[in-house]
Amino acid sequence: MAVVSQGIRRERTAWGLLAPTLLILGFTGLLPFVYVLYVGFFDWNVFARVAQLTWAGVANYRQLVFDTDFLASLWRGIRFTLWAVAIEMVLGFALAHLLMKSFRGRGFFRAVHALPLTIAPIAVGATWRLMTLPGFGIVPYWLSRWGIDYNIGRDATQAFFTTVVMDVWHWTPFVTLTLLAGLNALPKEPFEQAQVDGAGPWYILRYLTLPLLRPVLLTALFLRIMDALRIVDEVWMLTGGGPGTATRYAGIHVWRVVFPKTDYGYGSAMSVLLLYFTIVLCWLLMTSITQARKEGAG
């Protein structure tokens, strides 16, 4: 009897400790989620003749699935993510490997390499805009001296790859530092043993480093994928989503469509879809990492 009541009391204490978090996240995370779920079933446009919620059923969602603008922005965002994250992972892994060697000045290079991470995304966008703006920046100026016509205000492909390069500049350090931490935490014995056995560097990389590092690699990969998919501020500052719609990725699209148009019902449906994608991605992340960790242990 006493044990039971003690158990209940302990459970109560735990919920008490969790209360501030649940209150805050309930207000900023759960309430908006429930609210968009609700508004998503209505027509609600502030500028419409009747500016109030009218029941629309699943019309918003039906429209969303066939909305080519939205789907195109989603696909554009995925293409951007694939390019940026692929480059960042390969480059980040190579650099982390280089930074594992001990050499004089390593700390300095590490610090320099980490610098872009500290800059606010919006300032990163501003800086890259200062460098690449047609007729003003230093990059078009240099390239034009070599006879290359570089104009991200006009050329869609150039604008797209400029956003990729900016993302690589900004976020490769994150991958490098994460993998560096992972490499540092690896056990030493298997590597020493492999060396004694006369294994070559490629063999060690393929059969030791990569498998042992898998949980960290997956973590870095997923975090980067999710962050790249939701990018808004840097790209918005650099290109404004243009030229045309060349760099209008999903996040920018939602932002630019919902707010000027104040089509709240439809915007809510979009938000719900984005949140749903996020939950699926998170779930994939969690299961794959737990899986990798289990396999590593077993």
Partner 1 sequence: MRRARLVAGSWRWFKRSGWLYAAWTLLSLVTLFPIYWMLLVSARTRLELFSEPTLVQKSFYAENYIRPLLRDIYGAYLGNSLLVATGNTLVVVVAAVLATYALSRYRVSGAQNIFFWAITNRMAPPAAFMLPLYLLYTRVIRVGDWSLFDTRIGLILAYSVFNLPFAIWLLKGIVDGIPKELDDAAMVDGASLFQVLTSIIVPLAAPGIAITALLSWIFAWNEYLFAATLTSSHARTITTGLAEFVTVVGTNWGEMAAMSVVATLPALVLLGLVQQYIISGLTFGAVRE
Name residues contacting partner 1, limited to 3-22 (CB under 8 A). 10-11, 13-15, 17-18, 20-22
**Residue 58 binding partner 1, by CB under 8 A:** no
Placement of tokens 């396999």 in the chain: 295
Burial status of residue 186 (CB atoms within 10 A of its CB: 0-12, 13-18, 19 or more): middle
Nearer to partner 1, 160 or 173 (CB): 173
Distance, in Å, from the CA atom of 17 to the CA atom of 13, rounded to the nearest integer, reads 6
Q: Cβ(226)–Cβ(281) under 8 Å?
A: yes
**Residue 164 binding partner 1, by CB under 8 A:** no
How open is the CA angle 12-18-21, to the nearest 5 degrees? 155
* Binding window for partner 1 (CB under 8 A); candidates: 61-69, 80-88, 153-161, 257-265: 257-265
Tell how far CA 3 is from the center of its chain. 47
Nearer to partner 1, 197 or 226 (CB): 226
- Name the nearest CA neighbour of 290 among 282, 189, 185, 191: 282
Q: Cβ(94)–Cβ(151) under 8 Å?
A: no
**Residue 31 binding partner 1, by CB under 8 A:** yes
Name residues contacting partner 1, limited to 167-186 (CB under 8 A). 169, 173, 177-178, 180-182, 184-186
* Binding window for partner 1 (CB under 8 A); candidates: 81-89, 104-112, 148-156, 202-210: 104-112
Nearer to partner 1, 20 or 197 (CB): 20
Distance, in Å, from the CA atom of 46 to the CA atom of 185, rounded to the nearest integer, reads 55
Name residues contacting partner 1, limited to 274-293 (CB under 8 A). 274-275, 278-279, 281-283, 285-286, 289, 293
Name residues contacting partner 1, limited to 192-251 (CB under 8 A). 215-216, 218-219, 223, 226, 229-230, 232-233, 236-237, 240, 250-251
Tell me the backbone φ, ψ of residue 251, rounded to 5 degrees.
-60, -45
63: which residues sit within 8 A by CB, 6+ positions away? 266, 269
Binding mask 120-149 for partner 1 (x = CB under 8 A): xxxxx-xxxxxx----xxx--x--------
Nearer to partner 1, 61 or 255 (CB): 255
- Name the nearest CA neighbour of 165 among 202, 196, 197, 127: 127
Name residues contacting partner 1, limited to 68-97 (CB under 8 A). 95
Residues that contact partner 1, how many (by CB under 8 A): 99
**Residue 191 binding partner 1, by CB under 8 A:** no
